[in-house]
Structure 1
Amino acid sequence: MSSTDQAAIEKRRGAFSSRNVFIFAAIGSAVGLGNIWRFPMEAYENGGGAFLLPYLIALLTAGIPFLLLDYVMGHRTRGSAPLAFARTHRKTEWLGWWQVGICFVIALYYAAILAWALRYTLFSADKGWGDDPNAFFGGEFLQASDPTKGISTEFVIGLLVPLVIVWLAVIVIMMLGVQKGVGNTAMIFIPVLILAFLALVIRSLFLPGAADGLNALFTPDWSALTDTGVWAAAYSQIFFSLSIGFGIMITYASYVGRKVDMTGSGLVVGFANSSFELLCGIGVFSALGFMAQAQGVAINEVASGGPGLAFVAFPTIINEAPAGVVIGLLFFASLILAGITSLVSILEVVISAIRDKFEMSRIGATMAVCIPAAAISVFFFSTKSALHVLDIADNFINKFGILFVAVVSMVVLVWIVRALPDFVEHLTTHGSVPIRGWWPALIAVVTPLALTFVLISDFVDTIKEPYGGYPTWMIATFGWGVVAAVIFGGVAASLVKWRPETSLDIPGPIDEGTAPIKEENR
């Protein structure tokens, strides 16, 4: 392919206008709902202050190394996840489509959580959840059905309307393109998110009982370091929170200039994400300390993760805290901002892959991806079974989707197609941080072994005790069934031939600066 043809293709794909936009977009993807409600509880339940040690080790030995692997895949091949794998080795394309499938599934329920946060932002103005937020969440709001009686197809208007609004907003963002949509959203939302959460943290620190909450979070239980489950939790948290292993960072890295510092950018994104997680822990547990003191109970009686933290614990805090309305608006606005930037990055993986495979326009690919996704999302997550389906799908696609494809990818790329020397050379050329020696050792041995241990541990636990007490058929359908579907779907998608216009060769250099050429939306 001539450099002129290559430049035309890159212009059609789109690009970030600068390294700063790329970094903000990557941070926007990494900083999501998991930072706000998952990290504080993982730390609390796994040794408190002592958890920070395995967490830091996991960041350095697995998080940043795999982040750099994603970066080099996208930056070197200039393609979406499937095209990046195909250009690395023709027979590995299915791994990229596996990652695309994971993103498609996550987008379906991630939009639903955003819709809940949108409603709760409105509720926080007048404490619309009443005196019993727990009963309101599962009852009047979700109208959750009994999972043992099958899947409910009865729609809940209070879930349907905000979910449609979320999908319409996201579709508009995605149609705007890489820079105008994805990049600008991150550049605006991330600073606002940080300011909003900082305000929440400062307000929470002055609540009565805040010190008790911080003591509960940071008091170290050093004996926990001998528990293998604690180390498994640390590696899991790092992987989930950095948005690595499912195509996002591959896609984003393909949108930056050839001379951008990839290793330096990786360190900035990795440590920025972890810093925000620590900030989340401080804010959340300051508020939980107040809630425990107000109710005269221990921290462990009010501490919960996931939806329970966002939609039960915080409304309870808002009911009792001075200036509770302000806390509510800041908290749920933060959820929306963090969720939007992450959902945009998740959908970009799918849209970019479709554009590369079928040479589609930006708007055409957006509609081809988002309309079916929105329809499926509305069908499953606007009904009385929404919470059950979401809980099962989220647990299984994260544990046995993201981690599994990450391990397989490392083994295939390093030990089967022997691409590691080329990766090292590229990162050395396009990075300011020396990576020879330590990075190959981590990505070839330490990281896959650590993640394999986490996978096996989680698999054994899941087999011993069915997840969440749900009926076997629900776990088989929305858990193992979804995991199997993305794997076999990835293999099937890889059998579709690329358009003749798409070269499967590694592109050569076409630009001299760091600012990529602008996108065409035709």
Structure 2
Amino acid sequence: MNEKCAAKHKRAQVEERGHWASKVEFLLAVAGNVVGLGNVWRFPYLCYKNGGGAFLVPYLVFVVTCAVPLFLLETTVGQYTQQGGVTCWRKMCPLMEGIGYGGQLIILYSCVTYILILAWALLYLVFSFSSQLPWASCDNYWNTDRCIDFSEQNKTSARTNQTNSTSAATEFWERRVLAISGGIEETGSIRRDLMLCLIVMWIICYFCIWKGVKSTGKVVYFTATFPYIMLILLLIRGLSLPGALQGVMFYLLPEPSRLTDPQVWMEAGAQILFSFSVGVGSLIVLGSYNTSNNNCYKDCLWLCLLNSATSIVAGFAVFSVLGFMAHEQGVPIAEVAESGPGLAFIAYPQAVAMMPLPQLWSICFFVMLILLGLDTQFVAMEVVMTSIIDMFPTVMRKPGRRERFLLLFCITCFFSQLVMVTEAGMYVFQLLDYFACNGACILFLCLFETLALGWLFGAERLYGIIKDMTGVHANPFFKICWLYLTPLVLLGSFICSVVKYQPLTFNRWYVYPAWAYVLGWALTLSSILLVPGWALYKLGTGTGTFRQRFHHLCQPAPDCSLTQNGEETELQHIGEEDLHCLTSS
């Protein structure tokens, strides 16, 4: 029996999960995860497009009723259960474990698509060290007769009126970087320089998290803070340019009439859920590495404030530069305002090419872009790794297993995304991003998460858990949100997103073939259907009457952690024999 006990103790040591070395590591990891590319290339454009300052009204409504309550909810669940995005549901509400699987699938799709943006940014960064920025002139082999060189001011006004003309930055993006084909069916060849950049980014991400929370916690000191230095530099430079004030006014000029447009509210809700990384289990995993007495309540409030403030400040940095660009070209700012890849790889590089010392500002911009996306990417990878390891702890927590599995994960993802570095890659990227990573699937998971934890597990019980862990009484408003406001707002947004569905197009002219839309909806349903599918499976395979099975699956598992002097000793996955060993010793 003593030999068995020794073996069990040895296994318990192997299964040690670890914690953040300090509170700062947790804050930086979460900040790096939630503050990403969407804050820079999506929020400013949405604000300008949907009523300027008036857009802040629906934005703040969704922040208060959805983002902050869900942010606190998920961080609390992670810290309380000390488990990943799937196994946490076994402790809270086993019937809804499908939410965890659905969230991990969405993160997996995101890992495959998001890192491609970093590869594009890395390629632009390499070109930024050229003596002349290649997107600043029309004298390159990829340019056409329709190319406009905005650096030649005497020609710009005459050529801007040509309706079939394209800018040098657009041609560099579409003809040199992407070499984009005529449609998703025309795969073409692999872009070797993009593939090399992709390999570099996967290697960087691998070594950022290969030792788990120990390496991740150290890397975020740089990746989560340095982008703010770059952002401040770009903000100061942008505000000093001629035309900057015009750009800022377009960014924030209120249009109260837009508040009656349902599309404005839908876009605010989608931006909130994406920006705050809720619904997919990221915050659960990051919170699970906290000690059990960490004040997650105060942390969540400050992190949510940081995320929203970064979005607003980034808007000033972006639109001051776009205002300068519009001023230099003598065109309305509506003609230069872009979102997503259009902003990062066409509009902003084009504006930078017009500035003095363009290489310097181009380097600053793309370094900021890479670092903003990098910590979001490797934290997403860490979330998947942690969730899988927590599902199979006795197998996966043995020495060396994590590193090998992570390498296999990176290689698999790399080969699965090779199609996205072909000449049809942009079409595939948009298809995955539009259907698999955003929109209805995240709304659905967030809706069922609040219903499961607010009603089945119990909002009052969650409220008590926060008090026990932090010693702080959370505002009763959060209970109202978990029970009523958040589910109602999410349900309304989900219904609107389905009713107002618009087919995906590329560059406003390319319409995908029917089979691509079928594939897209299959990707959306692949995560959504896991929730009811898992619930039906568990109800169908259980014992007892249907009512007994339902009642049993809605009950939280007994707490299996010991707390001594505010420090938690992990006893996950310990059976009766293990417990006997611990008590007898």
Does the alignment reach a TM-score above 0.5?
A: yes
CA shift in 2, pair 1:8/1:198, >3 Å: farther
Q: Point out the more displaced range, 385-394 or 105-114.
A: 385-394
> Which segment is superposed worse, 479-488 or 68-77?
479-488
Q: Which residue of 1 aligns with 2:521?
A: 480
Separation (CA, whole Å) in 2 of partners of 1:490 and 1:154: 39
Aligned to 1:500: none
What's the secondary structure of 2:563's corresponding residue?
coil
Higher relative contact order (CA closer than 8 Å, sequence separation 6+): 1
TM-score normalised by structure 1 residue count: 0.91
The residue correspondences of 1:59-78 to structure 2 (distance < 5 A) are 59-78=63-82
Distance 1:504 1:118, change over 3 A: farther
Cα distance, 1:466–1:24 mapped onto 2, change above 3 Å:
closer
Deviation at 1:504, TM superposition (A): 6.0
- Structure 1 residues 68-147: aligned runs within 5 Å: 68-126=72-130, 127-131=133-137, 132-147=168-183
Measured after TM superposition, the shift of residue 510 of structure 1 is: 3.4
Q: Is the 8 A contact 2:181 2:423 kept in 1?
A: yes
Compute the displacement of 1:409 (Å): 1.7
Asked if 1:35 is matched to 2:39, the reply is yes
Is the aligned partner of 1:401 residue 2:452?
Answer: no
User: Partners in 1 of 2:296 and 2:504 — Cα distance?
Assistant: 42
1:454-475 Cα shifts (integer Å, max 9, x gaps): 222222222x545553222112
Task: Decide which moves more: 272-281 or 480-489.
Answer: 480-489
* TM-score (normalizing by structure 2): 0.81
Give the secondary-structure state (helix, strand or coil) at the position aligned to 1:13: coil
CA gap of 1:253–1:353, structure 2 versus 1, over 3 A, is same
Is the 1:255–1:516 Cα contact (8 Å) retained in structure 2?
A: no
User: Residues 515, 169 of structure 1: CA spacing in aligned structure 2 closer, same or farther, 3 A cutoff?
Assistant: farther
**Pairing of 1:16-415 with structure 2 (within 5 A):** 16-126=20-130, 127-131=133-137, 132-147=168-183, 150=185, 152=187, 154-180=189-215, 182-359=216-393, 360-361=396-397, 362-377=402-417, 379-396=418-435, 397-415=437-455
Deviation string 1:259-317 (CA, Å, 9 cap, x unpaired) is 11011000111001111111110000000000001111001000010000000001111
1:266 match: secondary structure: helix
Q: Does 1:512 align with 2:555?
A: no
Summarize the Cα distance change of 1:5–1:294 in structure 2 as closer, same or farther, 3 Å threshold.
Answer: farther
Q: Tell whether 2:501 aligns with 1:435.
A: no
Q: Distance in 2 between matches of 1:400 and 1:341?
A: 25
Question: In the aligned structure 1, how far is the partner of 2:114 from the partner of 2:301?
Answer: 27
Check conservation: 1:256, 1:515, Cα contact below 8 A: no
- The more displaced of 385-394 and 277-286 is 385-394
How far 1:104 moved relative to its partner? 0.4
Give the distance between the partners of 1:493 and 1:23, measured in 2 at CA: 33
Note if contact 2:42-2:340 (Cα within 8 Å) is conserved in structure 1: yes
Which one has a bigger Cα radius of gyration?
2
Letter in 2 for 1:160: M
Counterpart amino acid of 2:223?
A: F
Partner-residue secondary structure (3-state), 1:282:
helix
Map Cα deviations across residues 75-94 of structure 1 (whole Å, 9 max, x no partner). 11110010111111222222
SS in structure 1 of the partner of residue 16 of structure 2: helix
Q: Give 2:236's aligned amino acid.
A: I
User: Could you tell me whether the CA contact under 8 Å between 2:101 and 2:530 is conserved in 1?
Assistant: yes
- Post-superposition Cα deviations, 1:397-420, rounded to whole Å, max 9, x if no partner, equal 2102222211122223323x2332
Equivalent residue runs for 1:442-521 within 5 Å: 442-462=481-501, 465-468=503-506, 469-477=511-519, 479-487=520-528, 505-513=558-566
Q: Distance in 2 between matches of 1:273 and 1:466?
A: 28
Cα deviation for residue 53 of structure 1 reads 2.3
Is residue 2:458 matched to residue 1:419? Answer: yes
Higher mean C-alpha displacement, 331-340 vs 6-15: 6-15
Write the distance in 2 (CA, Å) between the matches of 1:10 and 1:460: 51
C-alpha distance 290-370 of structure 1, shift in aligned 2 (>3 A): same
* CA displacement at 1:235 relative to structure 2: 2.0
Q: Quote the Cα distance in structure 2 between the aligned partners of 1:472 and 1:258.
A: 51
Aligned partners of 2:276 and 2:45: how far apart in 1?
17
In structure 2, runs of 5+ residues without a counterpart are 138-167, 542-555, 571-585
CA distance in 2, matches of 1:17, 1:515: 14
Aligned pair in 2 of structure 1 residues 334, 73: CA closer, same or farther (>3 Å)? same
Q: Which amino acid aligns with 2:361?
A: I
Measure, in 2, the Cα distance between the counterparts of 1:487 and 1:351: 21
Task: Tell me, yes or no, if the aligned pair for 2:419 and 2:425 is still in contact at 8 Å.
Answer: yes
Q: Secondary structure at the match of 2:210?
A: helix
**Contact 1:189–1:341, Cα closer than 8 Å, also in 2:** yes
CA RMSD of aligned residues (A): 2.6
**1: CA distance, partners of 2:356 / 2:245:** 17
Contact 2:33 2:379 in 1 (8 A): yes
- 1:474 and 1:103 map into 2 onto residues whose CA distance is 21
Partner of 2:450, secondary structure, is: helix
Gap change, CA 1:88 and 1:374, over 3 Å in 2: same
1:154 is displaced (CA, Å) by 2.2
Distance 1:490 1:364 in 2: 30
Cα deviation digits, residues 88-107 of structure 1 (max 9, x gap): 12222221011010000000
In structure 1, distance between residues paired with 2:483 and 2:217: 32
Q: In structure 2, the residue corresponding to 1:510 is in which secondary structure?
A: strand
SS of 1:304's equivalent? coil
CA distance in 2, matches of 1:404, 1:74: 20
Cα deviation, residue 223, structure 1: 1.5
Length, aligned pairs only: 504
For residues 533 and 14 of structure 2, what CA distance do their matches in structure 1 show?
Answer: 27
Read off the aligned partner of 1:365 and give its amino acid letter.
F
